Amino acid sequence: MTDKHLTQIRFDGFDLDPRILAGLADAGFSRCTPIQAETLPIALAGRDVAGQAQTGTGKTAAFLLVVMQRLLNTPPPPPGPISHPRALILAPTRELAVQIHRDTLLLATHTGLRSGLVYGGTGYQQQRDDLAAGVDILIGTPGRLIDYLKQNVFDLKAIEAVVLDEADRMFDLGFIKDIRFLLRRMPPPESRLGMLFSATLSYRVTELAYEHMNRPLLIKIETDKITADRVRQCCYMTSNEEKIPLLIGLVRGWDDARIMVFVNTKREADRVWGYLQGNGINTAVLSGDVPQNKRLKLLRDFTEGNLPVLVGTDVAARGLHIPDVTHVVNYDLPEDPEDYVHRIGRTARAGAAGDAIGFVCETYAFCLPDIETFIGARIPVFPVDPALLAEVDPRSRLRPAREDREERRDGRGATPARGERAKREGPGARAERSRASTPRRTSETRPVASAKPAEAASTAPVAAPVSTPATIPASTTAPDLQPIPPAPAPPARVRRPATSRPKVERAALTSRPLSPAKPKPEPAPATLTAPLVESTLEPVTSLDETKPKRRRRRRKPTENGADTTQANSNPLPETVE
């Protein structure tokens, strides 16, 4: 590592508090980078700044020094019922927020300023308690900050300085509405200091700066290249099937390397990890589905050199300072050229050198011309040497454990492992779930037949045509009685009668078979029209049992307007006498 990226301007040449200079000495900083040398004199004078510089050039230290100096120059507000942070630093990702907090603790060791860290994914109650106890410098991501703000854990009325780090990434992740929500609850721009930093400043970012900042001064560290000068870039023209063998072959050929592999999707990150880990290369995955505690542990292990390879999405491409990264592999070329700049910026940081290799595959080959246009340089492309391809067994791929993935709020995250759902739900949950998922039969949805004889007689020919002949004797069936057509059955059970069958067999569906040659005589009509008194003295047939029961259910009005049942006023005992 060299010091060619540093200027001749020293930190002790600025009007900085001795306690801040002591922290810089502990960190080993004595000379400024170009972005620090341009930012410090303007921001220390109280002017808002929008800074753009290459990644890895010390933008974090630039705004931290200004924030701490401003807070040390002004007395703190009186304590109140809730916390009153004096400075707010916003970061788009959790890992970047953790890194800024770590740098703050290092530089503010001798100042006595209290710093707090708020981010999602873990430590909800602990972060809430620390924030409620009171902090001077609040660092966090927008989502959880707004959550605590709406709970009145803290307010933003005493904010003296606000910093937006990686502001363009805020737009990419959809945080712009949250940023405006927080900025509108702070003092006006004239009463606070505003700073905005990013490796790329788009038009929408500058529009946000001029909307919520007090006439910010735009600072750009112009270079011949957007990317770092000490990054050696190249690409391989490969097919989709050759990407895994080529990656394994390259990694095996690099000795004592610290490698970051970038992919575009979380699914592909798990796939690449499975082949690398299955072929003897110790690898970790850094993506949005990995629980936050494990993500921090993986970053720590990779930074300390315990992990040689880290596979990640663009979560790990912004603002993270991981020293001594020797190689960056763009397994998938990014569709946004700005992401390419941030990805390869993980190497060649702070004056070091590094290599950036890209795979120009069948899926993402169209991204290469846009990347070259954006960076203003041609990237050399080489064909794949068969000697670089490793022999890979397709069965060597490993699958990540389900507990290593975080459950998402929308339910599309990890699913419980086999047997875990049964433990959570209890012994009867599986049967209940199977009953709920099985469609009910048609017979189960029919209403239960009434036990009253009158209703059964009136509905028997339609609802249960097969059982009708058992209840109606043959002597009561008239020859001229038309059979009632059967009720439609489910399509799967319908059996159409053959054309050769006689019509007499169809009548058997609703009544007894009729003899066309010798029909039985019709019963006397007196049986149907006889008075109730006479019908009770005769032996009652099944049809005679039906008629009186129907007549008992008939209601007729009385003189006083009330309805009475005929069964209640039946003079049968008196008639018998």
Q: How far is CA 547 from CA 466, 531, 532, 550, 554, in A?
A: 22, 11, 9, 5, 11
Backbone angles phi, psi at 98, to 5 degrees: -65, -40
- Position 317 scores a pLDDT of 56
- Position 238 scores a pLDDT of 94
Nearest of 214, 227, 275 to residue 57 by alpha carbon: 227
Stretch 319-335: mean pLDDT, rounded?
A: 83
- The verdict on 81 and 180 lying in the same domain is yes
Task: Return the sign of the alpha-carbon dihedral for residues 268, 272, 273, 278.
Answer: positive
Whether the predicted pLDDT of 444 surpasses 70:
no
Is 513 part of a structural domain of the chain? Answer: no
- How much helix, strand and coil, in percent to the nearest 5, is found in the chain? 40, 15, 45
In the 3-class helix/strand/coil scheme, how is 531-552 assigned residue by residue? CHHHHHHCCCCHHHHHHHHHHH
pLDDT one-digit tens code per residue, 546-559: 445 555 555 655 55
- The verdict on 214 and 244 lying in the same domain is no
Stretch 559-564: mean pLDDT, rounded?
A: 50
Classify residue 311 by its DSSP letter.
E
Q: Which residues pair with 283 in a beta bridge?
A: 309
Backbone angles phi, psi at 209, to 5 degrees: -65, -45
Whether the predicted pLDDT of 41 surpasses 60:
yes
Is 410 part of a structural domain of the chain? Answer: no
Specify the pTM. 0.57
Q: How many folded domains does the chain comprise?
A: 2
Whether the predicted pLDDT of 410 surpasses 80:
no
Is 18 part of a structural domain of the chain? Answer: yes
Residue located via tokens 């292990």: 301
Distance CA 269, CA 266 (A): 5
Give the range among 66-80, 222-236, 266-280, 285-299 with minimum mean pLDDT. Answer: 222-236
pLDDT one-digit tens code per residue, 248-296: 999 999 988 889 999 998 899 999 999 999 999 999 888 777 777 787 7
pLDDT-derived band at 206, boundaries 50, 70, 90: confident
- The verdict on 399 and 325 lying in the same domain is yes
* Region of residue 548 (phi > 0: left; psi between -120 and 50: alpha; otherwise: beta): alpha
Give the range among 119-128, 330-339, 441-450 with minimum mean pLDDT. Answer: 441-450
- The verdict on 176 and 284 lying in the same domain is no
Alpha-carbon Rg for the chain, nearest whole angstrom, is 42
Is 567 part of a structural domain of the chain? Answer: no
Domain boundary among 404, 438, 473: 404
Distance CA 397, CA 285 (A): 14
Stretch 295-324: mean pLDDT, rounded?
A: 78
E strand segments, 145-215: 161-165, 193-198
SS3 call for 299: helix
- The verdict on 268 and 177 lying in the same domain is no
pLDDT-derived band at 231, boundaries 50, 70, 90: confident
Give the range among 68-72, 130-134, 399-403 with minimum mean pLDDT. Answer: 399-403
Whether the predicted pLDDT of 450 surpasses 70:
no
Total residues belonging to the chain: 577
- The verdict on 185 and 250 lying in the same domain is no
Stretch 80-91: mean pLDDT, rounded?
A: 92
pLDDT one-digit tens code per residue, 299-311: 888 888 888 999 9
Whether the predicted pLDDT of 222 surpasses 80:
no
- Stronger pLDDT, 405 or 231, i.e. the higher one: 231
- The verdict on 206 and 258 lying in the same domain is no
Give the range among 270-279, 387-396, 444-453, 552-561 with minimum mean pLDDT. Answer: 444-453
Is 400 part of a structural domain of the chain? Answer: yes
Segments in 86-165 forming alpha helices (H): 94-107, 124-133, 142-150
* The most confident of 24-28, 169-173, 284-288, 474-478, by mean pLDDT: 24-28
pLDDT one-digit tens code per residue, 494-521: 555 554 444 444 444 444 444 455 555 5
Whether the predicted pLDDT of 365 surpasses 90:
yes
- The verdict on 249 and 179 lying in the same domain is no
Task: Give the whole-number percent of the chain exceeding pLDDT 90.
Answer: 40
pLDDT one-digit tens code per residue, 113-136: 999 999 987 889 999 999 999 999
Distance CA 43, CA 24 (A): 18
Is 23 part of a structural domain of the chain? Answer: yes
CB 311 within 8 A of CB 263: yes
Distance CA 257, CA 99 (A): 23
Is 370 part of a structural domain of the chain? Answer: yes
Domain boundary among 374, 404, 434: 404
Distance CA 3, CA 31 (A): 9
Distance CA 213, CA 441 (A): 68
Determine the angle formed by the axes of helices 59-73 and 94-107, rounding to 10 degrees.
50
Distance CA 544, CA 542 (A): 5
Pairing state between β 563-565 and 555-557: antiparallel
Looking up residue 22, the CATH number of its domain turns out to be 3.40.50.300
Residue 473 in tokens: 């004797």
Is 141 part of a structural domain of the chain? Answer: yes
Classify residue 323 by its DSSP letter.
T
Range of the domain at 380: 231-404
- The verdict on 90 and 198 lying in the same domain is yes
- The verdict on 156 and 114 lying in the same domain is yes
Stretch 2-23: mean pLDDT, rounded?
A: 86
Residue 27 in tokens: 């960190």
- Position 435 scores a pLDDT of 46
CB 88 within 8 A of CB 149: no
- The verdict on 19 and 67 lying in the same domain is yes
Task: Give the whole-number percent of the chain exceeding pLDDT 70.
Answer: 64
Domain boundary among 334, 369, 404: 404
- The verdict on 236 and 355 lying in the same domain is yes
- Position 349 scores a pLDDT of 61
CB 356 within 8 A of CB 233: yes
Give the range among 15-29, 228-242, 289-303, 535-549 with minimum mean pLDDT. Answer: 535-549
In the 3-class helix/strand/coil scheme, how is 218-276 assigned residue by residue? EEECCCCCCCCCCEEEEEEECCCCCHHHHHHHHHHHCCCCCEEEECCCHHHHHHHHHHH
- Position 495 scores a pLDDT of 55
Determine the angle formed by the axes of helices 142-150 and 176-183, rounding to 10 degrees.
40
187 residue type, one letter: P
Residue located via tokens 């929408």: 204
pLDDT-derived band at 325, boundaries 50, 70, 90: confident
CB 382 within 8 A of CB 360: no
Residue 549 in tokens: 């029961």
Distance CA 181, CA 163 (A): 15
* The most confident of 84-93, 167-176, 424-433, 509-518, by mean pLDDT: 84-93
Distance CA 468, CA 461 (A): 6
- Position 3 scores a pLDDT of 59
- Position 207 scores a pLDDT of 83
CB 247 within 8 A of CB 222: no
pLDDT-derived band at 312, boundaries 50, 70, 90: confident
Nearest of 315, 343, 340, 403 to residue 97 by alpha carbon: 315
- Stronger pLDDT, 94 or 381, i.e. the higher one: 381
SS3 call for 455: helix
pLDDT-derived band at 159, boundaries 50, 70, 90: very high
Whether the predicted pLDDT of 160 surpasses 90:
yes
Whether the predicted pLDDT of 523 surpasses 80:
no
Distance CA 92, CA 173 (A): 8
410 residue type, one letter: D
Whether the predicted pLDDT of 184 surpasses 90:
yes
pLDDT-derived band at 478, boundaries 50, 70, 90: very low
Distance from first CA to last CA of the chain, Å, rounded?
Answer: 127
Stretch 76-98: mean pLDDT, rounded?
A: 89
Distance CA 63, CA 69 (A): 10
- Stronger pLDDT, 138 or 302, i.e. the higher one: 138
Average pLDDT, the chain: 75
Residue located via tokens 């070091």: 352
